[in-house]
Chain A
Amino acid sequence: MLKVKALKRLKDFFLDVEFEVKKGSYTVILGESGAGKSLTLKIISGFVKPDSGKIVLGNRDVSTLPPEKRGVVYLPQSLGLFPHMSVRDNLVFPLKLHKNELKKDLLEKVVEEFGLKGLLGRYPSQLSSGEKQRVALARAILANPKVLLFDEPLSSLDFHIKVKLMEFLKTFKNTYDLTILHVTHDPLEASYLAEEVIVLSKGKVVFKGKPENLLTSGEVVNSSEVVRAFKRLSDLVNKGSLSF
Chain B
Amino acid sequence: MSRLNKAFVILGGIGIAFLFLPIFHIFLNLSFQSLLNTIKDPEVINAIFTSLKAAFFAVLLSFALGVPIGFLIAKTEFPFKKFLETCINLPIAIPHVAAGIALLSLFNSKTLVGRLFQFFHIGFVDTIYGVIIAMMFVSFSFVVSASIVGFSSVDEDLELVARSLGASPGYTFFKVTLPLAFPSIIRGCVLAFARSLSEVGALLIIAYYPKTAQILVYERFEEYGLNAARPITAVVIVASLFIFLTLLYLNYKFFQKRTDVKG
Chain A residues within 8 Å of B, Cβ to Cβ: 42, 45-47, 66-68, 70, 72-80, 82-84, 93-94, 97-98, 123, 125-127, 139-140, 143, 149
Docked Cα-Cα span, A190 to B167, in Å, equals 31
Say whether, besides A80-B157, A83-B259, A84-B258, A97 and B163 are in contact (CB < 8 Å). Answer: no
Which B130-164 residues have C-beta < 8 A from chain A?
155, 157-158, 160-164
- Do residues A82 and B176 form an inter-chain contact, with CB atoms below 8 A? yes
Could you say which residues of chain A place their CB within 8 Å of the CB of B259?
Answer: 83-84
Q: Does B263 contact A (CB under 8 A)?
A: yes
Size range of the chain B interface in the assembly: 20 to 34
- Do residues A139 and B263 form an inter-chain contact, with CB atoms below 8 A? no
Say whether, besides A97-B165, A97-B171, A139-B165, A80 and B261 are in contact (CB < 8 Å). Answer: no
- Do residues B161 and A80 form an inter-chain contact, with CB atoms below 8 A? yes
Count of CB-CB pairs between chains A and B under 8 Å: 77
Say whether, besides A125-B261, A125-B263, A68 and B179 are in contact (CB < 8 Å). Answer: no
Could you say which residues of chain B place their CB within 8 Å of the CB of A75?
Answer: 161
Which B96-151 residues have C-beta < 8 A from chain A?
none
Contact of A83 among B160, B166, B180 (CB under 8 A): B180
Say whether, besides A84-B179, A84-B258, A127-B263, A97 and B160 are in contact (CB < 8 Å). Answer: no
Docked Cα-Cα span, A55 to B255, in Å, equals 41
- Within the complex, the shortest CB–CB distance from B88 to chain A, in Å, comes to 27
Q: Does B253 contact A (CB under 8 A)?
A: no
Q: Does B86 contact A (CB under 8 A)?
A: no
Could you say which residues of chain A place their CB within 8 Å of the CB of B76?
Answer: none
Listed by A's residue number, 17 A-B pairs whose Cβ atoms lie within 8 Å are A68-B164, A70-B164, A74-B164, A79-B157, A80-B155, A80-B157, A80-B160, A82-B180, A84-B258, A97-B165, A97-B166, A97-B167, A97-B171, A125-B261, A127-B263, A140-B165, A143-B164
Docked Cα-Cα span, A84 to B165, in Å, equals 17
Could you say which residues of chain B place their CB within 8 Å of the CB of A46?
Answer: 163
- Within the complex, the shortest CB–CB distance from A161 to chain B, in Å, comes to 16
Contact of A76 among B161, B167, B168 (CB under 8 A): B161
Contact of A47 among B160, B165, B180, B261 (CB under 8 A): B160
- Within the complex, the shortest CB–CB distance from B2 to chain A, in Å, comes to 35
- Do residues B160 and A143 form an inter-chain contact, with CB atoms below 8 A? no
- Within the complex, the shortest CB–CB distance from A115 to chain B, in Å, comes to 18
- Within the complex, the shortest CB–CB distance from B239 to chain A, in Å, comes to 33
Could you say which residues of chain B place their CB within 8 Å of the CB of A80?
Answer: 155, 157-158, 160-162
- Do residues B160 and A67 form an inter-chain contact, with CB atoms below 8 A? yes
Could you say which residues of chain A place their CB within 8 Å of the CB of B263?
Answer: 125-127
- Do residues A93 and B155 form an inter-chain contact, with CB atoms below 8 A? no
Could you say which residues of chain A place their CB within 8 Å of the CB of B164?
Answer: 45, 67-68, 70, 72-74, 143, 149
- Do residues B162 and A93 form an inter-chain contact, with CB atoms below 8 A? yes
Which B232-263 residues have C-beta < 8 A from chain A?
258-259, 261-263
- Do residues B160 and A45 form an inter-chain contact, with CB atoms below 8 A? yes
Docked Cα-Cα span, A73 to B163, in Å, equals 9
- Within the complex, the shortest CB–CB distance from A151 to chain B, in Å, comes to 9
- Do residues A84 and B163 form an inter-chain contact, with CB atoms below 8 A? no
Could you say which residues of chain B place their CB within 8 Å of the CB of A74?
Answer: 160-161, 164
The residue in A73, A84, A143 that gathers the most chain B C-beta atoms within 10 A of its C-beta is: A84
- Do residues A68 and B158 form an inter-chain contact, with CB atoms below 8 A? no
- Within the complex, the shortest CB–CB distance from A138 to chain B, in Å, comes to 12
Could you say which residues of chain A place their CB within 8 Å of the CB of B160?
Answer: 42, 45, 47, 67, 74, 76, 80
Could you say which residues of chain B place their CB within 8 Å of the CB of A73?
Answer: 164-165
- Do residues B165 and A94 form an inter-chain contact, with CB atoms below 8 A? yes
Docked Cα-Cα span, A93 to B163, in Å, equals 11
- Do residues A78 and B261 form an inter-chain contact, with CB atoms below 8 A? no
The residue in B164, B169, B171 that gathers the most chain A C-beta atoms within 10 A of its C-beta is: B164
Could you say which residues of chain B place their CB within 8 Å of the CB of A98?
Answer: 166
Could you say which residues of chain B place their CB within 8 Å of the CB of A94?
Answer: 165-166
Contact of B262 among A67, A78, A125 (CB under 8 A): A125
- Do residues A82 and B158 form an inter-chain contact, with CB atoms below 8 A? yes
Say whether, besides A82-B176, A125-B263, A93 and B258 are in contact (CB < 8 Å). Answer: no
Could you say which residues of chain B place their CB within 8 Å of the CB of A97?
Answer: 165-167, 171
For A101, give the chain B residue with the smallest CB separation.
Answer: B166
Closest 3 CB pairs of A and B: A80-B161, A97-B166, A126-B263
- Do residues B157 and A78 form an inter-chain contact, with CB atoms below 8 A? yes
Could you say which residues of chain B place their CB within 8 Å of the CB of A77?
Answer: 157
Could you say which residues of chain B place their CB within 8 Å of the CB of A42?
Answer: 160
- Within the complex, the shortest CB–CB distance from A243 to chain B, in Å, comes to 33
Docked Cα-Cα span, A140 to B161, in Å, equals 9
For B180, give the chain A residue with the smallest CB separation.
Answer: A84
- Within the complex, the shortest CB–CB distance from B131 to chain A, in Å, comes to 36
